[in-house]
Amino acid sequence: MTALVADGVTKRFGGLTALAAVSLDVQPGEVHGLIGPNGSGKTTLLNMLCGYYPVDEGAVRIGEEDLSRASVQRRAAVGIARTFQKPRLLPTQTVLENAMLGGWRDTRTGFLAAALSMPRVRAEQRELRDRAQAVLEGLGLGYALKRRAQLLDHAESRFLEIGRALVLRPRFVLLDEPAGGLTGAEIERLGIVIRTLRDCGIGVLLVEHHTEFVFGICDRVTTLNLGRMIRHGTPHEVRHDPEVIRVYLGS
């Protein structure tokens, strides 16, 4: 099984070390939690796995493939998908079109083929639409396929972003605070979705502040503080670690 690995990655912004030699691996079919106080480097690490920030030291790999220098697009192509803290959707496009955007890398046709509406382009479009629709219906968004994304409520936006990530056919999905702003019932439904991804063999990295949710759903949890890893283990181990309690959980 090939894992998504951050191997001793370091990131500096000017004189500030945002991440210091942090290592972490996400296995296929596991939910890996990443917790820590604000400013501990969780989102920075996520951005480095996706390629938005280059690594200063260390490496990012999937299996043997070194992705440290790979572009964001290349990492999407090898199957790393993500969502954002604040959902980034296309407000004027429909829910279905937003999800279909996730399948961009399966588009093999060039500009001219598209402009001339070659049969291949239409077949691709059909296939993509069916695929996106099936994912959205699975997520419970089937009733909103034709709605413009700007009319969605917060939970719908979050689920649509997950849908877009899934249409990418990911091997790994990185979720940046997906429970933020959701009600208790909505967080439960989010849990159903994340467990389903895991059961389908997708590796999930879950950056989240909602610690009850994290400990309830994750197979393993990594805790960061001030850019350093302070504890890594099962939810039970992390939850009862005195250092984690001191800097983050409180007593």
Partner 1 sequence: MSGTSLRPMAGSVAVLVALATLPWWAGDQYQIHLAALIAAWWILVAGLNLVVGFGGQLSIGHVGLLAIGAYAFAILAGRHDWSPWIALAASGGLGGVCGLLLGLPSLRLPGFYFAMATMAFALIVAELVLALGDLTGGGVGLSVPGFPEPFESPAGHYLLMLGIATIITWCAWNVARFPWGRALVAIRDNPVAAESVGVPVFRMKLAVFVASGVTAGLAGALFASLQSYITPDTFVFELGLFFFVCIIIGGRGSIAGPLAGTAILTALPELVAPLAKLGTLFYGLLLLAVVLLVPEGIGRLFQVILERLRPRETASPVLEPDAARLAAAIRRQERP
Q: Report 150-189 residues binding partner 1 (CB under 8 A).
A: 155-156, 159, 164, 166-169, 186, 189
CB of 200 to partner 1, least distance (A): 5
Query: Which of these, 225, 171, 168, 216, lies nearest to 195 by C-alpha position?
Result: 216
Query: Which of these, 126, 128, 188, 202, lies nearest to 159 by C-alpha position?
Result: 188
Select 147 or 239, whichever has its Cβ closest to partner 1: 147
114 binds partner 1 (CB under 8 A): yes
Alpha-carbon span 130 to 142, nearest angstrom: 12
109 binds partner 1 (CB under 8 A): yes
What Å distances lie between residue 76 and 26, 71, 82, 234, CA to CA? 16, 9, 9, 29
| Amino acid at residue number 122 | R
Cα atoms in the 13 Å half-sphere on the side-chain side of 156: 18
Tracing tokens 């920030």 back to the chain, one arrives at 53
Select 5 or 190, whichever has its Cβ closest to partner 1: 190
102 binds partner 1 (CB under 8 A): yes
Select 86 or 236, whichever has its Cβ closest to partner 1: 86
Q: How do 172-176 and 80-82 pair as beta strands?
A: parallel
Tracing tokens 């197979």 back to the chain, one arrives at 219
Torsion angle (degrees, nearest 10) of CA 153, 158, 162, 164: 50
Region near partner 1 per CB under 8 A, out of 9-17, 70-78, 220-228, 238-246: 70-78
125 binds partner 1 (CB under 8 A): yes
Q: Report 199-238 residues binding partner 1 (CB under 8 A).
A: 199-200, 202
- Which residues of this chain interact with partner 1, rule CB under 8 A? 50, 52, 72-74, 76-77, 81-82, 84, 88-93, 97, 100-105, 107, 109, 111, 114-117, 121, 124-125, 128, 131, 134-135, 137-141, 143-144, 146-147, 155-156, 159, 164, 166-169, 186, 189, 192-193, 195-197, 199-200, 202
